[in-house]
Amino acid sequence: MRFLRKINNFLLNILYNTPRVLFINFYKYGVARIRVYWPKKIPKNSSAIFAFNHTTGADPIIVLSALKRKIYFLADSDRFRTKFTDFFFRKILNSIPLFKKEHIKNAASFKEMFSISKDRKIFFGIFPEGNLIKNGSFGKFHDGAAYLSYKTKIPIVPVYIHNMHKGPRPDTWCGRNPICEGIYSLFSNAFRRVNVFIGDPINPVAEEICRDLMELTNRENYKEILDKITCKLEEEFNELKNEAEKTVNTRKAKNKKKPVFKKATSFSEIKEMPENSSTVIIKPEFGAPDVKNPFEDYDKDKDGEFPENNLADNI
């Protein structure tokens, strides 16, 4: 009987995971253009809570494609209203619902999270801002990541998603509809170069944090502990954002096109060259047998010399 139960669970696991594997791998290898910076900062032998900035509804798909790990996301319960979104969030994104208004229902969600993380290597995903922030800055960071980290003793790894297309404007119907916004954002970020930056882990039980929070822990001042961890997370994201801008700008400067040297064969070729061209024209050697004299169609000046000033003006 136990053997049959194991077989049944194995087959159900394959059935439930197949849509997720197919969808994520199709997007990762067929559509996405994602570059990951500093992936070695992710803990190798322990669990982690990934904290992401939230720009579009496509963010979970992007990070699943980038990090190549099975991540359990914590999502707003409003995303599970319809059968389609419930299936998508539970089976494709491995999401666990969190209730903002009916807090008593969160007991089951937290119980599920703690049972998942017990005695096994697991990765959680959470968006500390709670809502989509499309103005290029960060929103208010909530204590959800800090609470989960403090309770499970799992470090938080900040992950900054850079250069995402922001999708539809929030004041449009598509921007207000989660399904439409997510689909729009998936297509608008297809074949777009998206950069994912991994930050330094924030360990709630690390020696330096324990030292800072020793007084607070002794007094059981729970709220201040969470605020301390959240403040540290916000600082990490600001540093990541600055580092991302520097790194990307440096890379762009290195990849800038080097000038191409080309020997002109006629004066008209010099004259027709665009001003912003990266091609540098080399003045031809007049009289060379294989080069046509570029001035043979032009009149000489009074002294019988070629109009060198005009040439200088056009080079």
pLDDT at 296 over 80: no
Q: What is the mean pLDDT of residues 204-215?
A: 57
The DSSP-derived string for 245-296 is HHHHHHHHHHTSPPPEEEE-SSHHHHHTS-TT-SEEEEPP-TT-TTS--TTT
Same domain, residue pair 281 and 238: no
Q: Which of 92-106, 121-135, 139-153, 212-226 has the lowest mean pLDDT?
A: 212-226
**Residue 302 lies inside a defined structural domain of this protein:** yes
Same domain, residue pair 279 and 215: no
Q: What is the mean pLDDT of residues 26-48?
A: 89
Same domain, residue pair 129 and 93: yes
How many distinct structural domains can be found in the chain? 2
pLDDT value of residue 207:
44
**Greater model confidence, 269 or 250:** 250
With contact defined as beta carbons under 8 Å apart, do 243 and 158 qualify?
Answer: no
pLDDT value of residue 300:
47
**Residue 236 lies inside a defined structural domain of this protein:** yes
Same domain, residue pair 34 and 163: yes
pLDDT at 22 over 90: no
Same domain, residue pair 41 and 164: yes
Percent of the chain exceeding pLDDT 70 equals 70
**Residue 149 lies inside a defined structural domain of this protein:** yes
Structural domain including 209 reads 16-254
Cα 21 versus chain centre, distance: 20
pLDDT value of residue 21:
78
Average pLDDT value for the chain: 78
Same domain, residue pair 218 and 286: no
